Structure 1
């Protein structure tokens, strides 16, 4: 793991919790030459990326480009990995940012009450990551196997599957009753 300063760790940690991995706004008190130096170093290392800001969605600006537009900062997959977070949706967000809007398409709703799950990063080595690995196997995993691997109670494992994985992360999880194993869950 690379050596990060406290400021770099704070910027990347906050970005990991925000929709689209936005690194803006920067921590309070970080402005001027100090902010420029920290951000330039992080862009050079590939931890942050400057992208066009979507002013209609109210994204904060890093700098103005002079043509009525501006840029904002987004944490990259390398940046998330630098703080020990395994990116789940960082590439999907980057692809969505690069996509050109269709001329005939209706504009996307800009309300915060949108039903789509926010991009979330998963830390490697956590029990949630263990369960996802079990569910990704071709044979899937039963609740008993998840309980054995994590030491959790059965209701906690079911709660993570329905709430944490299906609702929060938006993963497509299927359940099939199998002879001798009971309900077997798989990420489809």
Structure 2
């Protein structure tokens, strides 16, 4: 089975950055049938899950936080699963399962990249002498350039707390690296 698409990776990365791990809101350009198709694929693969709540708030496209309502009218949220976190190279700490855990914001987790993942490969390239360009990283990982930039600014900077530096190098372009402590 192939890995998540670029759109799915963006959605999963955004959810991983939210305290409540909610998949919503989706990127503004993803609406209607396309949104349902992408979310359906994520649900089938077990990368996200529907989480019922005790709230009776209506799904509101303007707020874009509630996926749907069940037959009793309770709000159903979409949350990234442990498998979803693993798909973007994030190890999950202690698991919080069940609807009760979904109601409370999860405690901060210690996140670290798993070895052998594209995220680990990205970190290795950025730590290497001379760093790496967006094009070099994209070629090595198979990601699109916007996915590389998103991974650096989202997961590496915000989630893992790494400091990414960049400089223009003659004949090579903009080169990124992880700042040495």
TM-score norm. by structure 2 comes to: 0.51
1:135 maps to which residue? none
1:122 maps to which residue? 112
- For 1:60, which of 54, 62, 65 is the aligned residue? 65
RMSD across aligned positions (CA): 3.6
Q: CA deviation at 1:36?
A: 0.6
2:6 maps to which residue? 6
1:71 maps to which residue? 76
Q: Deviations over 1:54-112 (max 9, x none)?
A: 649999201122423121101101111111111114x12x24x34699xxxxxx8x9xx
Q: 1:100 to 1:117 in 2, by over 3 A?
A: closer
- For 1:81, which of 77, 81, 86 is the aligned residue? 86
TM-score norm. by structure 1 comes to: 0.49
Unaligned runs of 5+ in 1: 102-107, 111-115, 126-167, 170-188
Larger radius of gyration: 1
CA contact (8 A) 2:53 2:74 kept: yes
Q: CA deviation at 1:122?
A: 2.5
Q: 1:87 to 1:29 in 2, by over 3 A?
A: same
Unaligned runs of 5+ in 2: 58-62, 116-158, 161-181
1:131 maps to which residue? none
* Separation in 1, partners of 2:3, 2:45: 11
